[in-house]
Structure 1
Amino acid sequence: MKVIYKALTRELIQNIVLSIVFLNTVLIIEKLFKISKMFASVGIDLPNLFILLILLQPQLLIFTIPMALLLGVLLTYGRTQADNEMTILMASGMPYKKTFRPAIYIGIIAFFLTTVMSFYLAPLGVSLVREKIFSILAQRAPLGLEEGVFNQGFKDVTIFVKEKTDKFHLKEVVIFDERKNDTKTVIAKEGLIKKEKDNIILNLIDGKAYFNKGLSLNEINFKEYIFKLSPNIDPIAKKISELSLFDLISKIYNEASNKIDYKLELYKRVALPLLCVISVFLAPSLCVIVGKSGRIGGITVGLAIFAVYYIFMIYGANMAKAGKVSAETGSLMPVLVMSILAFVIYFRIKR
C-alpha cells in the first residue's frame, strides 16, 4: 500500500506542478499586457519585470491551485484507468475510494495554502506590486521625457520638451493638463525633474500658466512652479484587493456605500480555498466518467468544470451587485453549484 501511495503521490505532485505552470503562464499574459501599457513610455528592465511577476504570483495562485489540483487528479487517475492499473488495484482487493487517499491529503494541504494566500499573501502581494510600480516609474520617468516628442506617459497629461540638456534638466517645456474638469496649460523656459515619495515633481522655472474655466481664460506668470505627476496604476491592482481580512470586515460594518463590493471580495476569498476540498471529492466521480479517455479526457473535463465555475462566479457577483440576491449567495453560488454537482455525480455513479 505504501509503495502504491508513494507512486500515486509522486505522479500527482508532478501533474499538479505542471498544471500550475501552464495555467500561470496563460494568466500572466494578461498581466504582461497591462504592464507593457503602463511602462510603454519609460520601459522596464528584466530584473524589475521578474520582481513584478513574482509579486503577482500569490494573486494568481489562489485561482490556479484549485484548478491545477482538479486537473492533476484527473490526469493521474485518468492515466491509471487508461492503463488498466485501477482495474488491477481493485481486483487485488483495494477499494476504489482508498486509491484517492493521496489526493485527499494533497487537497487538504492545498486548502490551507490557498487560505493563507487568499487572506494574507495575495493582498500583500498586490500592495507590493503597487509600490514597486510607483518606484519604477519614478526612477525611469526621466527616460520617458524625450525631446521633440509629445510625451503621454501619464494619464490625461501631455508633456512637450524642446531640449533635454541631461537626464534631469529640461528646456522649453509645454504641459497640457486635463486631469481635472478645468484644463490647464503650462509653459516654462526650464524644468528640473525631482522625485518625492510616490510622485514625480517637475520644478518649472520662469514661465506662464493658463487656466481654462468655462469660457474664460486666466493667465498667471511665475518664477517657479511645482507640477506633480502621479503614476496611475489602477488597471493593474484594485485597491479593494489590497485590503486584509480585518480591513474588509471593518469596511463592511463601517462603509455602507460599497458594502456589497467588500462582501463579495470577502466571500470570494472564502470560496476559492473551499474549491480545493470540493475538487478532491468531485474528482473520483469524474475519473469514472473520463474512463479510458486518459489524459486528454481529464484535461477536457477539468477545464469544462472550471469554465462552469467561473461562469457562475461572474453571474453570482453581477446578481449581487444588481440587488437580486445577497452578497453571500452571489459569492458562494459557484461553490454551491460545484458541491451539488459533486453529490449528484457521486450518487448517480454509485447507484
Structure 2
Amino acid sequence: MKKIIFRKLLLDCLTFFFLALFGIGTIIWVFQAVNFLDIMIEDGRNYNVYFNYTLLNFPKIISRILPFALFFSFSYTFIKYEANNELIIFWNHGVDKISIVNFFFWISILIMLIQMILLSILVPKSQEMARSKLRTSNVDYFEELIKPKKFNDTIKGLTIFAEDKDDNEEFKNIYIKNNKKKGFQITFAKKGIFELKGNKRVLVLYDGQTLTQNGENITNFNFSKSDFGLTNMNSHLITYEKIQDQTTFTLIKCIQSIFGIKIKDTIICKSPRNIYKELFKRLISPFYLPVLILISLLLILITKENQKYNKNKFFVFFAGFGIIVLSESSLGYITNNLTKNILISILPFIITLIIYFIFIYKLKLSFRKL
C-alpha cells in the first residue's frame, strides 16, 4: 500500500513538473525565436539555418528554468494534497513524514544528476552545434541587407548603401565598399537589381565605376553592366567557440594547466575565473536542486488546521526563491582563488544538512529512527 501511495504522489509531482518545464520552456523559446529572426532578416541567413539555430538553443532554455519549475511544481503539489486532505490518507496508513522526506530526497538526487548531464554534456554540445551551423552557412538572402538610405556593414569587410528603391525593386545610386587584405574596392552604380542566374540571385549593377586599391596601385574602370559577386561572404556574427561551448573535459584540462600540468595551450585556458564559473554552473549549481525539494517538503510539517500554516507557506516560497537567487548569484563571487571557490561550492551541502536537521528537530526524531 505504501508503494502505491508513494508512486501516486511522485507521479503527480513529476507530471506537473514536466508540464511546467516544457510549457514555460516552449513559451520562452518562441519569444527567443522571434528575436533570432534577425539572423535570417538582418543577416541574410536562410530558413533552415534559422530553424536549426533556434531549436538547438532549447536545451539551454530548459536547463535555466528547471530549478524554478522543480520548486514550483513540487510546492504546488504538496499544497494541493494538503488542501484536498490527501496527506491525511498517508498518515492514516502509517506513512512517516520522514519516509516521504527521504524518498523525495533520493528522487532529487536523480533529478540533480539529470541536470548535471544536461549542463555538462547536452547544453555545451547543442551550443557548439548551433554556432557550427552559423560558421558553415552562407549569406543567402543578400537583398535583405540593402535598405534605402541606410549603411549596412553586416557582411565582414563590406559596406553597402543605396539611396532609394523604386516599385520595380530597383536600387538607385548604390555605393559598395569591399575591404581587402592589401587595400579596398569601391563601386558606384546608378542602378542595381537582383536577377536570377541559374539557381542564384545576383546583384547586377548598371552605369557605374569601380575604384580598386591594391597596395600602392590604384585602378579605375567604368562599366555599363557588372555582376557583383556574393558568394562565400560571412557576417559579423560571433561564430568562434566560447567557454560556454567547450566540453567539460576541456575545461577540467584547463584547470590542470592552471596548476602547472602541461597541456596543449588554448585561448580559453587563459581566463581562470571564467573557467571556474563555468565549471561551478555545470557541476555545483545542480546540488541546489535537492535543497529546493527539501524546502518544498517543509510544507508537510504543518497542517492547514494549524494557525501557522499560511506563515509556513510564505516562508517556504520566500526560502525557495531565495535559494534560486543564491544559486545564480553565487557565480558572481567566483574568483581566481581556488580556496574561496571551494568555500562557495560547499554552501549547497551545508544548506542541505541544515534543512535535514530541521526535519529531525521538528519531527522529534533520533538518528536511530532514520
Instruction: Indicate the residue corresponding to 1:259 in structure 2.
Output: 272
Alignment of 1:104-119 (within 5 A): 104-119=105-120
CA contact (8 A) 1:145 1:161 kept: no
Structure 1 counterpart of 2:242, from 223, 235, 239: 239
Percent identity reads 17
Instruction: Indicate the residue corresponding to 1:303 in structure 2.
Output: 321
CA contact (8 A) 2:213 2:219 kept: no
Shift, 1:95, TM fit: 0.6
Q: What CA deviation, in whole Å up to 9, does each residue of 1:253-302 have, x standing for no partner?
A: 14563222223212321113323344344442365489745998566553
Instruction: Indicate the residue corresponding to 2:261 in structure 1.
Output: none
Secondary structure of 2:346's partner? helix
| Alpha-carbon separation, structure 1, partners of 2:303 and 2:233 | 56
Instruction: Indicate the residue corresponding to 1:7 in structure 2.
Output: 8
Instruction: Indicate the residue corresponding to 1:146 in structure 2.
Output: 146
The answer as to 2:234 corresponding to 1:230 is: yes
| Alpha-carbon separation, structure 1, partners of 2:48 and 2:312 | 37
Instruction: Indicate the residue corresponding to 1:274 in structure 2.
Output: 287
| Alpha-carbon separation, structure 1, partners of 2:46 and 2:342 | 39
Secondary structure of 1:158's partner? strand
Instruction: Indicate the residue corresponding to 2:366 in structure 1.
Output: none
264-273 vs 84-93, which moves further: 84-93
Query: Which structure's residues are more often helix, by fraction?
Result: 1
Task: Name stretches of at least 5 consecutive residues in structure 2 with no aligned partner.
Answer: 196-201, 222-226, 258-264, 362-370
The answer as to 2:70 corresponding to 1:69 is: yes
| Alpha-carbon separation, structure 1, partners of 2:240 and 2:27 | 18
Note closer, same or farther for the CA distance 1:126–1:92 as it changes in structure 2 (3 Å cut): same
303-312 vs 340-349, which moves further: 340-349
CA contact (8 A) 2:295 2:320 kept: no
CA contact (8 A) 1:209 1:221 kept: yes
Secondary structure of 2:133's partner? helix
| Alpha-carbon separation, structure 2, partners of 1:332 and 1:64 | 26
CA contact (8 A) 1:20 1:65 kept: yes
- Aligned AA (1:143): E
- Aligned AA (2:321): L
Secondary structure of 1:150's partner? coil
61-70 vs 6-15, which moves further: 61-70
**CA RMSD between the two structures:** 4.7
| Alpha-carbon separation, structure 2, partners of 1:332 and 1:155 | 47
Instruction: Indicate the residue corresponding to 1:197 in structure 2.
Output: none
- Aligned AA (1:154): T
CA contact (8 A) 2:97 2:300 kept: no
Shift, 1:55, TM fit: 0.8
123-132 vs 146-155, which moves further: 146-155
| Alpha-carbon separation, structure 2, partners of 1:304 and 1:237 | 35
| Alpha-carbon separation, structure 1, partners of 2:178 and 2:313 | 55
Of the two structures, which has the highest relative contact order with CA contacts closer than 8 Å and spacing of 6 or more? 1
| Alpha-carbon separation, structure 1, partners of 2:298 and 2:98 | 10
Secondary structure of 2:122's partner? helix
| Alpha-carbon separation, structure 1, partners of 2:143 and 2:41 | 11
Secondary structure of 1:72's partner? helix
- Aligned AA (2:150): F
CA contact (8 A) 1:12 1:73 kept: yes
TM-score, normalized by length of structure 2? 0.67
Shift, 1:331, TM fit: 7.8
CA contact (8 A) 1:163 1:172 kept: yes
Larger Rg: 2
Aligned residues: 326
Shift, 1:151, TM fit: 4.8
| Alpha-carbon separation, structure 1, partners of 2:325 and 2:283 | 19
Instruction: Indicate the residue corresponding to 2:357 in structure 1.
Output: 347
Shift, 1:183, TM fit: 10
Instruction: Indicate the residue corresponding to 2:346 in structure 1.
Output: 336
Q: What CA deviation, in whole Å up to 9, does each residue of 1:69-116 have, x standing for no partner?
A: 232222222322333332442243211022246534542332332222
| Alpha-carbon separation, structure 1, partners of 2:59 and 2:24 | 13
| Alpha-carbon separation, structure 2, partners of 1:107 and 1:348 | 18
